[in-house]
Amino acid sequence: MATTYCSVEDVSDFLRVPITANTTPNKTQVEKIINRKESEFERRTGHAWRVKTITREVHSLPLLYTFGWGTPIFLRHRRILDLDNDQGDKVEIWQGASATWENIVTNGQWFDVEYERGSLHLRGFLFSILRRNRVRVTYRYGGEEYSGDTTIPDDIKDCIIKMTAIDIMNTSFRMDELPSGGTTSPSESKKYWQEDIENCIANRREVVVVGI
């Protein structure tokens, strides 16, 4: 299975042990761990350095208006990829009279997007009475730059490697499978790695403003 933030070889180099299809743990098992740690990192930081899809994110229309732009909708993520109907992206407006959602992505004249910041601006809804849960957005985001740049920063790669290494060591009930040496014990190493992990997550965590 595919990994994004680091490779099995990166983990193997870090632990100084071979990881192949025939070792314990084997390559497939380590790939599964990396995938889980990638998802954990994204959940804890609130951002992703690979393309992710957010489906049916619901917003209410605020009593705000930006001249020349329209009513702003602040998406929960930044670095948005260009909205593309063919890729499944949607900006849906609830039509109360017909009880249906109307997708307006195919008609770009009704909205503008600041892709870097992750804000959507709707035109024509300033005097709308129906505001509660009026907008539903499906979009893709990810990367250090908008439009899907998925270059992995070194500190994030290092973080995922250490998260994976700790998981491997915690589930290695036969310690002879993971040789260690020097003056630092495995438990001390894991402690230092965990400190690095928490620092990276704290530095990369997104700031989210919660509104009503």
Across residues 46-52, what is the average pLDDT?
90
- Calpha distance 188→186 (Å, rounded): 5
- Calpha distance 191→201 (Å, rounded): 16
Q: Is the pLDDT of residue 179 over 60?
A: no
Cβ 139 vs Cβ 75: under 8 Å: yes
Q: Is the pLDDT of residue 182 over 60?
A: no
What's CA 32's distance to the chain center, in Å?
18
Across residues 148-158, what is the average pLDDT?
82
Q: What pLDDT digit, counting tens, does each position of 23-41 carry? A: 989 999 999 999 999 999 9
Q: What pLDDT digit, counting tens, does each position of 71-123 carry? A: 999 999 988 999 999 999 999 999 988 999 999 998 767 899 999 889 999 99
Strands lying side by side in the sheet with 135-141: 52-59, 135-141, 90-95, 100-103
- Please report, in angstroms and rounded to a whole number, the separation of the first and last CA atoms in the chain: 40
Query: Which residue's structure tokens are 């889980």?
Result: 36
**What is the pLDDT, as a whole number, of residue 101?**
95
